[in-house]
Amino acid sequence: MEPITGGPAQLVLTASIARRYYVDGRSKVEIADEFRLSRFKVARLLDQARSSGLVRIEISHPGAIDLDLSARLQESLGLRRAIVVDTPEEDPAALRLQLGKAAADLLSEIVTADDVLGLAWARAVTAMTEQLTSLAPVPVVQLTGALTRPDVEANSVELVRHTARLSGGAAYLFYAPLVVPDAATARALRQQPEVAEAISHFDSVTKAVVGLGSWAADQSTLYDAMDEKACDQLLRRGVVADISGVFVDADGAAVQSRVTDRVIAINAEQMDAIDEVIAIPYGLAKVGAVRAAVRSGLVNGLVTHSPLARALLDETT
Amino acid sequence: MEPITGGPAQLVLTASIARRYYVDGRSKVEIADEFRLSRFKVARLLDQARSSGLVRIEISHPGAIDLDLSARLQESLGLRRAIVVDTPEEDPAALRLQLGKAAADLLSEIVTADDVLGLAWARAVTAMTEQLTSLAPVPVVQLTGALTRPDVEANSVELVRHTARLSGGAAYLFYAPLVVPDAATARALRQQPEVAEAISHFDSVTKAVVGLGSWAADQSTLYDAMDEKACDQLLRRGVVADISGVFVDADGAAVQSRVTDRVIAINAEQMDAIDEVIAIPYGLAKVGAVRAAVRSGLVNGLVTHSPLARALLDETT
DNA sequence: CGGGGGCCTGCTCATATGAGCGGGCCTGAA
DNA sequence: TTCAGGCCCGCTCATATGAGCAGGCCCCCG
């Protein structure tokens, strides 16, 4: 891999050839003619140049997206999409803004008129919709109930309505909380016309953007909204992440529990049927949750920031 | 050249493909299969990646030689050889040491048993021979008389003898000054058996290392050793460089003059017949001299340092 | 609504390239 | 000296690649 070449003339020759080939883009045959060598010799020198590290190839671009890291993350985790925003930012609100922009760009690029878009409630998803400036005309389906927190003004309904308006497509939205105290109430809510209507469209959703929380205090809006008993029960069942109301353990298996019945949201099976499910995680604390979500296969697209991306890659090693 | 690509997903896709192609070395067909694209699409994305600057290729190596600069210098000046040592060093003695080492490495690499080596007197050439550790067995021919200066202990005879001993080949050397007061003395000296013997071998020399001075005070050992009148005469004739006793003007034309007859050294025609003539210039003051020497076609190999190399490239632009 | 014009796509076919091979040469050991 | 081993070279032949082209699509303008 690194035995570097021989004498200085050899080195300079190799460098000249590498320049001609890689920088000037000439063919090996042309180079061979120019230097009076056989094309085989040229090919061998080029191999040598690469394997000895004499030629270094970097992939970079001026924007905020770290393409190389994105590509590596995508490949390493087997994702359909990965966008890594290169920022040292740590403030959650500022991060949401940057990731929201990247996710919005991604969404407007990949959503076509044939799609049906599903949106779950999450602050990051809200941040994305706020940055969205154009979108193919598609139906927009609300995937989860809303959580209203004192520190968050937007709610899931606004999010869906706003996106549908921008797109010009139909909106399937409803007013209901994400989690209710008991299964019976949840069942009753699901019977509500608007809710039932939205749910009936879950099967046709082709692309979705979901929230992704680590199952711990301050790492999941759902965790923070739920009673301690239920949280603990799920913890005991091995839950490490919630994907907009779908609980998964470290192996990526969806966890069913009584709590599941109290959630007004798309279920694991329905989510699994969606072609592209994108999450926008940030913060190093979410490493485990992201891994679980990706393992589950439910989430196959990520928009995140470089520190988390690096942590994910490191863990893989 | 720089219109960079479209959406983020597109960008990441392009980056992934570039990684696969350039870093992993897969073929375009393989990549096309992997990404479910036509090979044409892959080729176009790669073209785009390169032309947009997304893929950057650098040529570098850990040693002291700046390969990229060497290759560019060689190409730009149309040289057979160019070795650029990357050093900020300005002290002439230290520079000679470094360049001598590089030149020595070069010489031991390119000299084969079929060659006949010619060596002129010059401090840089002396520095080179001192660094020489191995050499194919070849005859070594002294190309010029010696100049003895109070600050230089080695002389051209030692230089040739030492090299021949190292090589194991025959040495053709003689004791004579580089320049004498009048043409008659020079003629007489050339009749001397050893001198005549060496001169008779000039025609068979295949590789030579020569000195290169800028025709000005302190920029040429020969200039400093010569009487003012002769110096001025050559200046008026447009001489800007002396190549071990061969005078050339800014256009690279060899200048004949009465002074030429007083020099005991290889002449322009003989030097021109040598396959490879290497000089080891240093110091920014020599830019013009190097250009002239290269233009003349007499010198077709350079071992120099990065500041001078850059100056030469700048002038060419 | 109808018709260019530009753009993207994948094709054909000639060319460039890679894998693997056998021959010549150099080196080191007997 | 002779011989075996390793190395470097350039060949053959199958494969990969590039240039240029024609069809289809979308968008914009009339």
3-state secondary structure chain A: CCCCCCCHHHHHHHHHHHHHHHHCCCCHHHHHHHHCCCHHHHHHHHHHHHHCCCEEEEECCCCCECHHHHHHHHHHHCCCEEEEECCCCCCHHHHHHHHHHHHHHHHHHHCCCCCCEEECCCHHHHHHHHHCCCCCCCCEEECECECCCCCCCCCHHHHHHHHHHHHCCCEECCCCECECCCHHHHHHHHHCHHHHHHHHCHHHCCEEEECEEECCCCCCHHHHHCCHHHHHHHHHCCEEEEECCEEEECCCCECCCHHHHHECECCHHHHHCCCEEEECCCCHHHHHHHHHHHHHCCCCEEEEEHHHHHHHHHHHC
pLDDT, one tens digit per residue, over A44-59 is 999 999 888 899 999 8
Residues of B in contact with A102 (CB under 8 A): 8
**Predicted pLDDT of residue B184:** 93
* Strand D, nucleotides covered by protein (CB < 7 Å): 9-12, 15-20
* Strand C, nucleotides covered by protein (CB < 7 Å): 9-12, 15-20
**Closest CA in chain A for residue B17:** A71
**Predicted pLDDT of residue A229:** 87
Q: Which of B6, B11, B65 sits opposite A8 (nearest CB)?
A: B65
pLDDT in tens, chain B (317 residues): 556 667 888 899 999 999 999 988 899 999 999 999 999 999 999 999 988 889 999 988 877 899 999 999 999 999 999 999 999 888 999 999 999 999 999 999 999 888 999 999 999 999 999 999 888 889 999 999 987 665 555 555 688 999 998 888 899 999 888 989 889 999 999 999 999 999 999 999 999 999 999 999 888 888 888 888 888 999 999 999 999 999 999 999 999 988 889 999 999 999 999 999 999 999 999 999 999 999 999 999 999 999 999 999 986 55
pLDDT, one tens digit per residue, over A28-85 is 999 999 999 999 999 999 999 988 889 999 988 877 899 999 999 999 999 999 999 9
**Closest CA in chain B for residue A60:** B54
Which of A59, A77, A85, A112 would you mutate first to test chain B, the one with the most B CBs within 10 A? A59
This prediction has a pTM of 0.84
pLDDT, one tens digit per residue, over A199-248 is 999 999 999 999 999 999 888 888 888 888 888 999 999 999 999 999 99
Q: Is A79 touching B (CB cutoff 8 A)?
A: no
Distances (CA, A) of A159 to A24, B172, B285: 50, 92, 71
State the DSSP H helix or E strand holding residue B84, giving kind and residue range, or none if neither.
strand B81-85
Query: What distance in Å separates the CA atoms of residue B87 and residue B13, rounded to the nearest whole number?
Result: 41
Instruction: Write the single-letter amino acid at B13.
Output: L
The whole-angstrom distance between B264's CA and the closest CA on chain A is: 32
pLDDT at A317 over 90: no
